[in-house]
Amino acid sequence: MSYDLSQIDQVAETLLSQFGHIPIWAFYAPMGAGKTTLIARVCKLMGIADAVASPTFAIMNEYDAQGKMVYHMDWYRLEGEAEARRTGVEAAIEEADKCFIEWPEKAPALLPDGSLRIEIEILDPEHRRIIITS
């Protein structure tokens, strides 16, 4: 699916309606592709009132989505699976109702089977393409 950045809300609605039942979403995309922006829009649709920001330095942020626990993780700064385990991401993945992970390629073995793979390609400054694998 290709989209213009002005259509991000519709893309978030489509993803949530089609894949909302999948608890773990892994986002693969280059820097600046809009991972955090898309995740923030999905979180808003889930009823999260807090401002959703990139957890680059915190590694993970926790949100309450109307009684459901949501984690937003950014593994960009992690050196690998051992460091990811030390930060507690495995336990968070297991306990979360929904988990959004940026840069999952840093610790791929920690992704559970059945995770949703969302690849975002930059087509030009205003357009993106999403490729979904579940």
**For the chain, domain boundaries:** 2-133
Walk across the sheet containing 2-4 and list its strands.
Answer: 2-4, 127-133, 116-124, 24-28, 98-102, 68-74, 60-65
Say what the pLDDT of residue 23 is.
97
Residues contacting residue 85 through CB under 8 Å, at least 6 positions apart: 110
% of the chain at pLDDT higher than 70: 100
Say what the pLDDT of residue 51 is.
85
The stretch 53-78 carries a mean pLDDT of 90
Say what the pLDDT of residue 10 is.
97
Under CATH, which architecture does the 2-133 domain have?
Answer: 3-Layer(aba) Sandwich (3.40)
The stretch 57-74 carries a mean pLDDT of 91
Q: How many CB atoms lie within 10 A of CB 101?
A: 29
Q: Encoding tokens for residue 134?
A: 């579940």
65: β partners: 68
Q: Give pTM, 2 decimals.
A: 0.94
Q: Is 69 exposed, middle or buried (0-12, 13-18, 19+ CB in 10 A)?
A: middle
* Alpha carbon distance 83, 71 (integer Å): 18
Using 50, 70 and 90 to split pLDDT, how confident is the model at 106? very high
Using 50, 70 and 90 to split pLDDT, how confident is the model at 60? very high
